[in-house]
Amino acid sequence: MRWRMGFFPFVIAVSLGVSSFSLATDSSATSGAPHLSLGRTSTFSVQGVSVPGTPAKYDRVMVRRFGSPSASNVLVLVPGTLAGAGDFDIVGPYIAAHVPNLQVWAEMRREGALEDNSMLLRVLHGKAKVQQAFDYYLGWLVNPKITNHYQPLEDSQYQFADQWGLAVAMGDLHNVVELAREGGRRTVILGGHSLGGAEASIYGVWDFDGRPGYKDLGGIVGIDGDTGPVTAGFFGQPPITTTSQAQTALSKLASGSPWLDLLGFGYPWISGPFAEVGALGTLKEPNSPSIAQMSSILPSELKPPVETTNEAQFGYAFDASTSPAALALIQVHSGRLAVSGTPRRWVDDGPTPIEDVAFDFSQEPLGPVDWYYPERLTIDVEAAGSLTQTPAATALGLRLYHLGQVDVPMYVIQTSLGGTDNYVASAAVAYQRASQIPSVTVINRASTYSHLDPLLAAPSHNAFLQSVVPWIKQLPSYKR
């Protein structure tokens, strides 16, 4: 499996195409847990780079901001593979609230505009039932009587997305960072989870029309994701280094779907509805018999051996003790099925309560899952893993020119997935050795955390939040 979110400010905003601004303060929590609230938040769009063949409406990204817009420091966070801005809906508000003079921005890559979240929003606002959402997105695939349902995208109409690789992602992200910098008036720390952490690492060495990316940054954060000049390649995958390898990957892409199909069903978008509808069931009807468990659309590997509630089915699919190994990208340490009862309920006994997972995965718009993740991005990141301009990087249009000059502090946290072959820690150390990075802070939780735990664990048990907050505060370029 390949592993794969004053006047001068006004001028910057206009030149980068900021629009669709809305403000909502003090979003209400879904429970008594104070960290399950978006707090003071707003959303806006940023003009992306122009991509030949791509309709102009897709040449932009969305951003969710947490904290005060007047804060002088910005932590920009990038989601991982098959992930969206919603992945940061717990850690974003927490960090903004616990680091003085800091706002947190969560980016939703351009493909987020391809999703149909209409029925999810209806359920969230109490205008539809969870069963209706399940039928709309999933049930119709096995029940022809359901005629009002989601219409998947036709691959043939979106072949332009074959170009949505790392050059496009870097260009879009650069516009977000430039807006956050406000002409140098604000300090920007760039971070990300999983592949988003790799993007943050790559940004530092990228050449933006002669300007090195690291000059935009005060620090780099990798949340179970980064990359560096190590032999294993990105997350232990064989790296793409030669022109021939790059051309072979592009030929395969051109003859198939533009999108990554994580579950291998032939429906690349299906991971989104599976996760988000499951989260809504847990949020809205936690103790009702599981809707998904009773449907033949759910793979048998994800079904508990006993009848469960919506919440227990959701926990069973996400918890590292029961979730299939192939789904390591979505796993947490949450808990277990109750030992008795019909239907069985879920018992939390890990750092990440299943309520936290459900809260995060039920957020829309700017949701937590990337339904149409471009396969080209994975190809390019595998070619950029060494952070150097290999023949493959040149063939793919990458601009990895500044490794030896990067001079900003770096923080990484490693879980069981990023800890495979000690990849995240090793890549960070190798990055430092090949550059001028003054310090690297490595938090290793490979033996106790799964891939999503740093994003979703309760703050009192969250090693990421407990360590990254003081790290940000002591950054030399941090504006106090």
pLDDT tens sequence across 105-137? 999 999 999 999 999 999 999 999 999 999 999
Query: Are residues 218 and 92 both part of a single domain?
Result: yes
Domain final position from 361, 388, 421 = 361
Contact assessment for residue 425 and residue 414, using Cβ atoms and an 8 Å cutoff: yes
Q: Would you say residue 214 lies in a domain?
A: yes
**pLDDT band with cut points at 50, 70 and 90 for residue 371:** very high
- Which segments of 278-318 are extended strands (E)? none
pLDDT tens sequence across 244-255? 999 999 999 999
| Tokens representing residue 347 in the block | 């018992």
Query: Are residues 320 and 458 both part of a single domain?
Result: no
Q: Would you say residue 157 lies in a domain?
A: no
Q: Identify the pLDDT of residue 15.
A: 36
Query: Are residues 177 and 302 both part of a single domain?
Result: no
Domain final position from 326, 361, 396 = 361
Bridge partners of 212, per DSSP, are: 207
Which CATH number characterizes residue 242's domain?
3.40.50.1820
Residues 6+ apart with CB under 8 A from 231: none
| Residue whose tokens read 């994800």 | 302
**pLDDT band with cut points at 50, 70 and 90 for residue 233:** low
pLDDT for residue 3 is more than 80 = no
**pLDDT band with cut points at 50, 70 and 90 for residue 31:** low
Query: Are residues 54 and 140 both part of a single domain?
Result: no
Reading phi first (left if > 0) and then psi (alpha if -120 to 50, else beta), residue 140 is in alpha
Which of 438, 435, 432, 427 shows the shortest CA–CA distance to 229? 427
Q: Would you say residue 370 lies in a domain?
A: no
| Tokens representing residue 466 in the block | 């407990």
Q: Identify the pLDDT of residue 235.
A: 58
Higher pLDDT, 235 or 145: 145
| Tokens representing residue 400 in the block | 């990895």
Q: Identify the pLDDT of residue 231.
A: 66
Query: Are residues 213 and 314 both part of a single domain?
Result: no
Q: Identify the pLDDT of residue 18.
A: 43
Query: Are residues 318 and 409 both part of a single domain?
Result: no
Q: Identify the pLDDT of residue 239.
A: 87
Query: Are residues 408 and 350 both part of a single domain?
Result: no
pLDDT tens sequence across 153-162? 999 999 999 9
Q: Identify the pLDDT of residue 265.
A: 83
Residues 6+ apart with CB under 8 A from 276: 120, 361, 362, 364, 367, 368, 369
**pLDDT band with cut points at 50, 70 and 90 for residue 24:** very low
pLDDT tens sequence across 300-340? 999 999 999 999 999 999 999 999 998 999 999 999 999 99
Q: Would you say residue 155 lies in a domain?
A: no
Q: Identify the pLDDT of residue 378.
A: 95
Query: Are residues 131 and 173 both part of a single domain?
Result: no
Domain final position from 334, 361, 388 = 361
- Tallying the residues shown for the chain, one arrives at 480
Query: Are residues 129 and 80 both part of a single domain?
Result: no
Bridge partners of 125, per DSSP, are: none
Query: Are residues 22 and 92 both part of a single domain?
Result: yes
| Tokens representing residue 273 in the block | 């509805």
Q: Would you say residue 307 lies in a domain?
A: yes
Query: Are residues 129 and 109 both part of a single domain?
Result: no
Average pLDDT of the chain is 92
Element (H, E) at 171: helix 166-181
Pairing of strands 19-27, 219-223: unpaired
Considering its fold, how many domains does the chain have in total? Answer: 2
How far the first Cα of the chain sits from its last, in Å, is 44
Query: Are residues 348 and 293 both part of a single domain?
Result: yes
**Where in the sequence is the domain holding 235, given as residue range(s)?**
7-113+165-255+378-473
